[in-house]
């Protein structure tokens, strides 16, 4: 489930929450650099980036850009 988008320098990054009950990644948060290419083709080959073990962990670790 896409829970938000962050603007980058050239692209957008989606923040994703896994809602696949029964799977090992259930409840975990990932990022994905948006692309118009099909999955794992062209500019869409980076895959998902792990962010946090839970939505709560994700929210508790947010910081202002100036504090990064």
Residue pLDDT, tens place only, 1-58:
656 666 665 667 888 899 989 999 999 999 888 778 887 788 888 888 899 999 999 9
Instruction: Decide the pairing of beta strands 12-17 and 49-52.
Output: unpaired
Using the structure block, give the residue that is written with the tokens 């009950």.
21
pTM for this predicted structure: 0.73
Domain that holds residue 23: 2-67
End-to-end CA distance of the chain: 26
Q: How many domains does the chain have?
A: 1
């Amino acid at each position: 489930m896409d829970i938000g988008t962050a603007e980058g320098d050239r692209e957008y990054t989606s923040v994703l929450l896994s809602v696949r009950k029964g799977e090992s990644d259930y409840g975990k948060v990932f990022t994905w650099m948006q692309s118009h290419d099909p999955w794992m083709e062209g500019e869409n080959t980076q895959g998902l980036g792990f962010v946090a073990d839970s939505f709560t962990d994700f929210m508790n670790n947010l910081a202002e850009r100036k504090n990064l």
